[in-house]
Amino acid sequence: MCRGLFVMKIFMDTANVEEISRFVDWGVVYGVTTNPSLIAKTGRTQAEVIPEIAKLVEGPVSAEVISTECQGMVEEARKLVQIAENIVIKIPCIPEGLKAVKILSAEGIKTNVTLVFSMSQALMAARAGATYVSPFIGRLDDIGEDGVQKVKNIVEAFKLYGIETEVIAASIRNLAHVDAVMLTGCQIATIPTKVLEQMIKHDLTDKGLAAFLADYQNSLK
């Protein structure tokens, strides 16, 4: 829930350790979200990648379970949280997932319920005890819905009812998504590397810097 003034946190949506390290050095990345697809792109295993990521960032690192049944999810989660104190268990928004979230929440294990596409899913995940819910903007846009508006609606509903589960805007694909998400009041945006790289760039910045440097050089003549 939003309480007073806060700054939207930036998470990286990647499993590439080199990319994460680069942006951590910029001082802008607080946490990381991963999934099996992102892990696969690295050519490495989750067991290899997650410990390295957990050492790089101060904030939460979401590691996703593979099982689709409650007991399997819980067993995976208990192993994953042994890796580091900042591990968060990423669980799909399905009935077995909610059962697992309830159990893990009771054990003090933080969870990120992923693949959220509706307000009702977000509400059920939060009530099950999720630490975070991740509505997917881009995939909602793909089916003709307004993904950013969905995030805003979830944030407003959580605030209205005093729900402390934090909202992670996920499936962000471009700068327009970032700009719009900043106005929703969500606590976190998880952003892929290519979009993060675009966020710092602007033609006027480059032109202005070139002009300043040119003026400086001219002043030395």
**128, 98 Cβ separation under 8 angstroms:** yes
Distances (CA, A) of 188 to 70, 112, 178, 183: 27, 12, 11, 12
CA distance linking residue 70 with residue 218, whole number of Å: 69
Tokens of 99: 């059962």
| Cα–Cα nearest to 80, from 70, 90, 93 | 90
List residues with catalytic annotation.
90
CA distance linking residue 136 with residue 150, whole number of Å: 9
Distances (CA, A) of 148 to 159, 171, 210: 17, 10, 36
Distances (CA, A) of 149 to 23, 61, 138, 162, 169: 28, 26, 12, 20, 11
